[in-house]
Structure 1
């Protein structure tokens, strides 16, 4: 029975991945708005109902595999150990993702991953969903900090700063790859840049941007 369940799960994962890759290929070639769910189903050799069974909406075909990462910072803070600050936890997690060149922090040079990002950036409805998901992740982080500290206002400021630091680092990695730098070149100083960014958060903005 266990072997049968394992085989069934593997087949489901394979079907989901086939649908996902077929959708991304069509979106990249024709544009997100120009592709129908039926076209995706035909390309993946499944029924339209099967597509909806695996992915609740057309937008989910792009976001489902990546959406959990919008809550990465909240997860790092929630799971941090005794004596570890929120900044330390988010920085530690980010550096671990840098070390493994995780696609979620923009350090994977695999063409398919880059293709998915281009689809999102070039599609307003997907950019809006990305913004909403990112804001949800920041609110989740703020709620965790507020529950621990009892101060929602300061928790919101802290969450916004931590999220902004992560987002800026990720965008820089993507920007450098888009400009033609190799993944190795970007990864070479990604950890150093992360230390600089989180140090700025840790110190606060005192003395930053003082006009001469």
Structure 2
């Protein structure tokens, strides 16, 4: 039996169960009240752990939000990649990637804005922040991959444009924090800006 296939020991199972309880508790409280209105003590109480234990998994409330949201963002990116696979034009393929990410970010608008702030300004040494940056990098990679389908766009140009597309998308999501602004309007805003920078 390989090391990878061996069952987890009791200590590892206990750690995994605590992590799952933390994620479930934080997800529920953040969705219901918004990240700014929730305390780490409330999350610890709901997860049935001490606050000291909570901070072993995430040192700040921002890191807790990243812990919760990174999975959702990764899933949104995967939906976008799948949607873009058979989209023929570069602009439509880029937007097929970005639309699920916009939807994910705006599920709870205040949390989405806080998530983007944490990605931009959080501590890159923290593991959940590093994971968020990796997801942003994967988003750029997905955009670059659809751009290079056009043989006139080289790898370097695609990577540069993908970086700009991601920046546009993050800024548009962060600046449209009014719940009265629909997801479609945010997507249209991103589309308009991206269409202006795509190679013609």
TM-score bracket for this pair, using the shorter chain length: 0.5 to 0.7
Residue deviations 1:11-62, cap 9 Å, x none?
x97774214456999x85799xxx7xx99544521478x969xxx9427633
CA contact 2:25–2:47 (8 Å) conserved in 1: yes
Shift of 1:154: 2.3
Match of 2:70 in 1: 67
Query: Is residue 135 of structure 1 aligned with residue 137 of structure 2?
Result: yes
Shift of 1:72: 5.4
Q: Distance in 2 between matches of 1:64 and 1:192?
A: 29
Q: Distance in 1 between matches of 2:133 and 2:104?
A: 18
Match of 1:9 in 2: none
Where structure 2 has 5 or more consecutive residues not aligned to the other structure, the ranges are 1-18
> Residues 189-200 of structure 1: matches in 2 within 5 Å?
189-200=185-196
- The alignment's TM-score, normalised by the length of structure 1, stands at 0.51
Q: Distance in 1 between matches of 2:134 and 2:22?
A: 28
SS of 2:68's equivalent?
coil
1:17 to 24, 44, 61: 24
Query: Is residue 203 of structure 1 aligned with residue 199 of structure 2?
Result: yes
Residue deviations 1:90-133, cap 9 Å, x none?
213434665xxx242xx445545555555666643469634444
Aligned pair in 2 of structure 1 residues 41, 118: CA closer, same or farther (>3 Å)? same
Aligned pair in 2 of structure 1 residues 109, 22: CA closer, same or farther (>3 Å)? closer
Where structure 1 has 5 or more consecutive residues not aligned to the other structure, the ranges are 1-11, 205-212
Match of 2:14 in 1: none
Q: Distance in 2 between matches of 1:110 and 1:82?
A: 30
CA contact 2:141–2:162 (8 Å) conserved in 1: no
- The alignment's TM-score, normalised by the length of structure 2, stands at 0.53
Q: Distance in 1 between matches of 2:28 and 2:144?
A: 35
Aligned pair in 2 of structure 1 residues 81, 124: CA closer, same or farther (>3 Å)? closer
Q: Distance in 1 between matches of 2:58 and 2:163?
A: 27
CA RMSD of aligned residues (A): 5.0
Aligned pair in 2 of structure 1 residues 65, 85: CA closer, same or farther (>3 Å)? farther
Q: Distance in 1 between matches of 2:91 and 2:145?
A: 15
Q: Distance in 2 between matches of 1:189 and 1:131?
A: 26
